[in-house]
Amino acid sequence: MKVSFYNLGCKVNLADISRIGKQFEEAGHDIVDFEQESDVILINTCTVTHRADADCKKIVRRALRQSPNAYVGVVGCFAQLSPGEIIKIDGVDGVFGQNEKFHIPELITDFKKQDEAMVLVGDLKDIPFHTSAVSDNVGKTRAVFKIQDGCEYNCSFCTIPMARGGFRSIDFAEIESEIKNFSDSGFGEVILSGVNLGEYKSINGENLTHVVRFLDKLNYPIRYRISSIEPNLLKPEILDIIEKSDKFTPHFHIPLQSGSGEILRKMKRRYRIKNYQKLILNIKERMPDACIGADIITGFPGETAGHFETTLNLIKSLPISYLHVFTYSERKGTPAASLEGSVPRDIRKERTKSLRKLSGNKLEVFYRSQIGKIKTVIPESYSKESGEWRGWTENYVNTSFSANKNIPPDPIKIKLLEYKGGKLISELI
């Protein structure tokens, strides 16, 4: 059969769908692009925002326009939370939960259109950890490696604990073999990823600090990047290792969500503003060229103009390099959905627009601060039109440089020269 996939949501989702694809390949099926006609189409869903749910319906319709006779399965977070809503979508044949999605070739023997959708969504109480990894770019030089899954936090706006289950992690003893596979496959960078990465804990008690220390000592030609990590979980010991490491990159993505202590308490976040400030300033003191990203939610219930102004001023005062800004959307089953003080949607969107503009300004300031510096880049994509390669430096600067189209995808030294078009122009040295 020809099998295609469509992924909605985070890089953990992307890694999961890659694992499912490999299962179909091992069963003798052909994996094709989503735009091609397919016999089986699997849609991996997200449920972080209301748009993610709506997008699922849109993608199902799009899939059936391309392949009207295809078996359509919906998997992932939205499938786990709301199977009853999904089976109402015309054309859906199967709904698979977080555990079941890794067993589809075993569960379904006849991938034919169904008169009524089959729902295979189990309890998440004892769900095992499923190792997943995927290339994060077209050049296949950077891989996302999921080492942790699930969340047991009680953030009042979030459905993830209900959608993905509790904490679980890859066995520490399995990590080196996975890294060796990445190295053998030619990956030059591995991103450690998880739903709540800082809560990594192996069956024998190893935590994320142990993982970082272990990888830093491995002798593979790979650099490592930590994906999003909660501020209360980015321990001083981890910073100690990264500061001195020539393997780990000085790039951190640390969710903030709001600059107002009052709103953070309503969100039930696990840190205080002063702790967040101290963490960011400590990182920049230790690693002046570090790139630091942050997540922000605008329009949370009860967020006044004053609260938003506090958030703006905090971000302006901190050496944050860029923002991922999300407009708050009510999620069924979360405490925040019933809070008083709903912010009008037009105001939410206006605040999001303001923060995204600030993000662009912050990123330009960070990029310009890197002009004249020598960094390491892994060539990722080549343009025949411009004769240029593009890639990311260790501290997450997007750059382009002229070089022979046949250069290998190995780390090379470049000098950052000029800010142009949202990236830095550089030259080989």
* Same domain membership, residue 224 and residue 317: no
Which domain, by its residues, includes 396? 374-428
Question: At 390, is the secondary structure helix, strand, or coil?
Answer: strand
pLDDT of residue 52: 65
pLDDT at 228: 97
How far from 429 is each of 107, 370, 405, 413, 414, CA to CA, in Å? Answer: 55, 16, 17, 6, 5
Q: At which of 369, 385, 415 does a domain end?
A: 369
CATH of the domain at 379: 2.40.50
pTM, 2 dp: 0.93
My answer on whether 300 and 362 are in the same domain is yes
Predicted pLDDT at 53: 66
Show the low-confidence residues of the chain (pLDDT under 70). 52-53, 138
| 349 and 400 assigned to the same domain | no
Residue 94: name the closest of 69, 66, 113, 67 by CA.
113
Q: Are residues 240 and 132 in the same domain?
A: yes
Could you give the number of structural domains in the chain? 4
One domain for residues 13 and 96: yes
DSSP secondary structure string for all residues of 4-62:
EEEE-S-HHHHHHHHHHHHHHHHTTPEE--TTS--SEEEEEE--SSHHHHHHHHHHHHH
Regarding whether 29 and 91 lie in a shared domain, the answer is yes
Alpha-helical regions (H) of 287-394? 305-317, 345-369
Q: What is the pLDDT of residue 194?
A: 97
Q: Same structural domain for residues 163 and 233?
A: yes
Q: Which residues of 313-327 are buried (b: 16+ CB within 10 A; e: fewer)?
A: ebbeebbbbbbebbb
CATH number at residue 176: 3.30.750.210
Dist CA 74 CA 80 (whole Å): 10
Distance CA 5, CA 36 (A): 10
Sheet holding 40-45, edge to edge: 30-31, 2-7, 40-45, 71-76, 94-96, 118-120
Q: Based on the fold, state whether residues 66 and 131 are members of the same structural domain.
A: no
pLDDT tens per residue, range 270-319: 999 999 999 999 999 999 999 999 999 999 999 999 999 999 999 999 99
Q: 369, 395, 414: which is the final residue of a domain?
A: 369
CA distance 33 to 25: 14
Q: Which of 112, 78, 111, 70 is nearest to 95 (CA)?
A: 78
Give CA torsion, residues 375, 380, 383, 389, to 10 deg: 20
Q: Is the same domain home to 91 and 193?
A: no
How many CB atoms are closer than 10 A to CB 334? 17
* DSSP secondary structure string for all residues of 322-338: EEEEEE----TT-GGGG
CATH classification at residue 21? 3.40.50.12160
Residue-wise pLDDT tens digits, 355-413: 999 999 999 999 999 999 999 999 999 999 999 999 999 999 999 999 999 999 999 99
d(CA 395, CA 248): 10
Q: Which of 104, 120, 136 is the last residue in one of the domains? A: 120
Question: Are 108 and 156 within one domain?
Answer: no
Angstrom distance (rounded) from CA 294 to CA 199: 19
Tell me, yes or no, whether 379 and 363 share the same domain: no
Q: Which DSSP category does 139 fall into?
A: T
Burial degree of 274 (CB within 10 A; 0-12, 13-18, 19+): exposed
Are residues 232 and 322 located together in one domain of the fold?
A: no
Cα Dmax for the chain:
64
> How many C-beta atoms surround the C-beta of residue 248 within 10 A?
20
The single-letter DSSP state of residue 248 is B
| pLDDT for residue 268 | 98
269 Cβ contact list (under 8 Å, min separation 6): 155, 257, 258
pLDDT of 133 reads 87
